[in-house]
Amino acid sequence: MRVAVIGSGPSGIYAADALVSQEDVPVEVDIIDRLPVPFGLVRYGVAPDHLSIRSVRDTLNKVLQKPGVRFLGNVTVGSDVSLADLQACYDAVILTYGASSDRRLGIPGEDLDGSVAATDFVAWYCGHPDADRERFERLLPSATSAVVVGVGNVAVDVTRVLAKSVGELNHTDMPQHVLETLQSAHITDVYLLGRRGPAQASFTTKELKELGELLEADVLVKPADVELDPVSAALAESERGVGRNVDVIREWAERAPAGKPRRIHVRFLSRPVELRGDDRVDTVVVERTRLTPEGSVEGTGEMEEIPADLVVRSVGYRGTPMEELPFDERSGVIPNEDGRVTRDGEAVAGYYVAGWIKRGPTGIIGTNKKDAVATVASLLADAQSGALSEPTTPGGIDALMAERGVTVVSTAGWDSIDEAEKALGASRGRERTTIHDRDELLRSAIG
Ligand code: NAP
């Protein structure tokens, strides 16, 4: 059986691993990615200063090297190859292309210059080839006060990167131009805004705690923000993670500032209602909220203006549709049952999903392993029951890509990029430096 996996992030690679690790059905897997490099959000999402989480790529890389698994980078489904082409080349297609778009705030001024999606900012500091380098090189050096909207782990990553000194980031694999731009920024205040209370925040304690341990930033919390209503207090009591988060935030509220050059203001029950500014955002209008009995929020009408020349909207990722396959606009996922893509409740033969495009942008990297294994179990059951059609294109994808003049980056090509990034890092006394330029990545792959 030949299977195409679209997307080489953790869920795609875990799916490939599950396929080649079983012995009931012999399988060959091609992992296709539009980028010349693998690992998706492990490379372009996990914060570069989280070295231990980023080291997951070593585990993922081992899967790429397994017999029966190939990496086909720099191939875009939708332009270089269509789903119909893939259907003709493979017995089955597993879509694991994640959730690359951002959710919107839906407030006036959201599109002012200086207001950016966290997805774009994160892509930039991780060295994504499609990142808008010019935009961040223009915005950051002139920014002094930033507002980060949302209290998930991405918001915490963004706040930390903005509040860290370059000395605290120098050891990472961030591209040199990113380090230089961050160094030229003079942001003294970063406001982290949660629309609900500390008990409802979605960050995890380990990540949260790091904000209180930065060399050059004090963390400030208003005592009123950690006064819990009875429902939140019960939540903090019954759920260990929530209780630990609340403990960390309470300790910050009691802490005397050490007079460090930067400040992280962690605010709860605060939602932005408008971004103001002429050519560029200069003010965020924030409304005080209160929790409703249902756990949602409502405005109190009490307004505050926070000066900000950079606003990072970190309110979640969102999936995007794939060609003519069904798509649930409301939740941003491809409808499925146990990983089988469904249209009006009926399975669409040969198509499967795993990861964020299957269940939405939630969970940690490891969550995708169980998720991918479950999808592969459905696929293998279908293969054994004869529900899959055999490929009809004899030369397969290789002939098709050659015919169309697409430069495909193979596993060996990726290995060359890997070596080039390590060499670039070594030349600066680091383990690795990310190559951000697509042409340079392709040159490194070809050798
Ligand atoms: P997330 O955890 O879903 O957080 C989104 C945040 O945005 C929530 O605080 C949410 O508040 C808020 N929000 C949503 N709509 C809003 C609005 N209109 N106005 C104000 N706030 C709004 O998403 P994420 O931070 O993007 O993370 C995605 C996933 O990746 C998560 O599972 C996360 O744990 C994971 N991740 C993990 C790590 C790590 O382990 N180190 C690092 C990065 C990401 P409400 O709750 O009130 O909706």
Q: Which of 195, 208, 211 to mutate to test the pocket of ligand 1 (most atoms within 8 A of CB)?
A: 195
User: 155 C-alpha to center of ligand 1: Å?
Assistant: 7
Q: Which of 153, 160, 235 to mutate to test the pocket of ligand 1 (most atoms within 8 A of CB)?
A: 153
Q: Where are the beta strands (DSSP E) in 2-155?
A: 2-6, 28-32, 69-72, 92-95, 101-102, 115-117, 145-149
Distance CA 214, CA 16 (A): 39
Residue nearest to atom 14 of ligand 1 (CA): 315
Supply the pLDDT for residue 165. 95
Low-confidence ranges of the chain (pLDDT < 50): none
> What residue ranges define each of the domains in the chain, with the CATH number in brackets?
2-100+319-409 (3.40.50.720), 103-314 (3.50.50.60)
User: 305 C-alpha to center of ligand 1: Å?
Assistant: 23
User: 356 C-alpha to center of ligand 1: Å?
Assistant: 13
Cβ atoms 34, 76 nearer than 8 A: yes
Residue 157 DSSP one-character state: H
Q: Which of 315, 331, 364, 371 to mutate to test the pocket of ligand 1 (most atoms within 8 A of CB)?
A: 315
Angle in degrees, 0-180, between the axes of helices 411-426 and 438-446, rounded to the nearest 10: 110
Distance CA 374, CA 190 (A): 41
Ligand 1 atom closest to residue 154's alpha carbon, by position in its atom list: 25
Q: Among 285, 276, 224, which residue's Cα sits nearest to residue 250?
A: 224
User: 311 C-alpha to center of ligand 1: Å?
Assistant: 16
User: 306 C-alpha to center of ligand 1: Å?
Assistant: 22
Residues with CB under 6 A from ligand 1: 50, 53, 105, 149-155, 157, 194-196, 200-202, 204, 207, 271, 314-317, 361-364
Residue nearest to atom 33 of ligand 1 (CA): 153
Beta pairing partners, 93: 4, 351
**For the chain, what is the radius of gyration of the CA atoms?**
23
Q: Which long-range contacts (CB under 8 A, 24 or more apart) does 325-329 make?
A: 325/83, 325/95, 325/351
Cα dist from 197 to 26, 156, 287, 292, 300, whole Å: 51, 16, 14, 11, 14
Ligand 1 atom closest to residue 155's alpha carbon, by position in its atom list: 25
Supply the pLDDT for residue 447. 67
Q: Among 156, 158, 174, 154, which residue's Cα sits nearest to residue 166?
A: 174
Supply the pLDDT for residue 417. 98
The alpha carbon dihedral of 354, 359, 361, 362 has a sign of negative
Q: Where on the phi/psi map is residue 349: left (φ > 0), alpha (ψ -120 to 50), or beta? A: beta
